Structure 1
Amino acid sequence: MTEEELIARHPRLWHMATDGSWPSIKKNGLLSVSRLLDLYGVEGDVRFAIESARRPQCVTLKAPGLPDAIVRDNKPMFEASLLKCLRDGLTPRDWYEILNRKTFFWVERERLERLLGAKAYSKDPQTVLTIDTKALLDRHRDEILLSGINSGQTLYVPQPRGKSTFLPLAAYPTDGGKTGTKTKPKIVELVVEGGVPNVAGLVTKVERVHNGNWEQYAL
Structure 2
Amino acid sequence: MKEEDLLKNYPRLYHMAEDASWDSVVKHGLLSTIELLDHYEFDGEERRKLESERRPESVRISREGLPSAVVRDQKPMTRSALEKCLTDGTTPEEWFETLNARVFFWLSKDRLQGLLGARAYRDKPQTVITLDTASLVGAHRDVITLSPINSGATIYNPVPRGRSTFMSIADFPFEERRKTMKKLIKDAVVELTVMGGVPEIEKHALAAHRVFKGAKTELWRREGSDPSEGP
* TM-score, normalising length: structure 1: 0.96
Corresponding residue of 2:41: 41
Structure 2 residue identity aligned to 1:197:
P
- Give structure 2 stretches of 5+ with no counterpart: 222-231
CA distance in 1, matches of 2:101, 2:209: 25
Q: 1:79 to 1:135 in 2, by over 3 A?
A: same
Shift of 1:156: 2.2
Asked if 2 retains the 8 angstrom alpha-carbon contact of 1:146 and 1:187, the reply is yes
- Uncovered stretches (5+) of structure 1, i.e. residues with no partner: none
- Matches of 1:24 and 1:112, distance apart in 2: 22
User: How far apart are residue 218 of structure 1 and its match?
Assistant: 2.6
Relative to structure 1, the CA distance from residue 196 to residue 41 in structure 2 (aligned partners, 3 Å threshold; closer, same or farther) is same
Aligned ranges 1:160-171 → 2 under 5 Å: 160-171=160-171
Amino acid at match of 1:106: W
Q: Helix, strand or coil: the match of 1:8?
A: helix
Contact kept, 8 Å, 1:175 with 1:184, in 2: the verdict is no
The change in CA–CA distance for 1:57 and 1:150 in structure 2 (over 3 A counts) is same
Note if contact 2:108-2:186 (Cα within 8 Å) is conserved in structure 1.
Answer: no
Mapped contact 1:176–1:183 kept (Cα < 8 A):
no
Query: Do structure 1's residue 180 and structure 2's residue 182 form an aligned pair?
Result: yes
The match for 1:215 among 211, 217, 222 is 217
Q: 1:2 to 1:16 in 2, by over 3 A?
A: same
Deviation at 1:38, TM superposition (A): 0.1
Which residue of structure 2 lines up, in the alignment, with residue 4 of structure 1? 4
Provide the residue aligned with 1:155 in structure 2: 155
- SS in structure 1 at match of 2:220: coil
Partner of 1:140: 140
Q: Secondary structure of the equivalent of 1:218? A: strand
Matched, 1:100 2:100: yes
8 Å contact from structure 1 (residues 131, 202) kept in 2: yes
Amino acid at match of 1:142: D
Deviations 1:82-140 (A, max 9, x none): 01111111110000000000000000100100111111111111100001000001100
Matched residues in 2 for 1:70 and 1:99: separation?
16
Q: Displacement, 1:201?
A: 1.1
Superposed counterparts of 1:82-97, under 5 Å = 82-97=82-97
Which consecutive aligned stretches of 4+ in structure 1 deviate over 3 angstroms post-superposition?
Answer: 181-185
Q: Which residue of 1 aligns with 2:208?
A: 206
Query: What does residue range 93-132 of structure 1 map to in structure 2 within 5 Å?
Result: 93-132=93-132
Distance 1:79 1:208, change over 3 A: same
Q: Kindly provide the amino acid, as one letter, of the partner of residue 128 in structure 2.
A: V
Aligned partner of 2:177: which letter? G
Distance (whole Å) between structure 1 residues aligned to residue 167 and residue 183 of structure 2: 20
Q: Across the two proteins, how many residue pairs are aligned to each other?
A: 219
Cα distance in structure 2, aligned partners of 1:106 and 1:156: 20
- Counterparts of 2:13 and 2:220 in 1: how far apart (Å)? 19
CA-based RMSD of the aligned residues comes to: 1.7
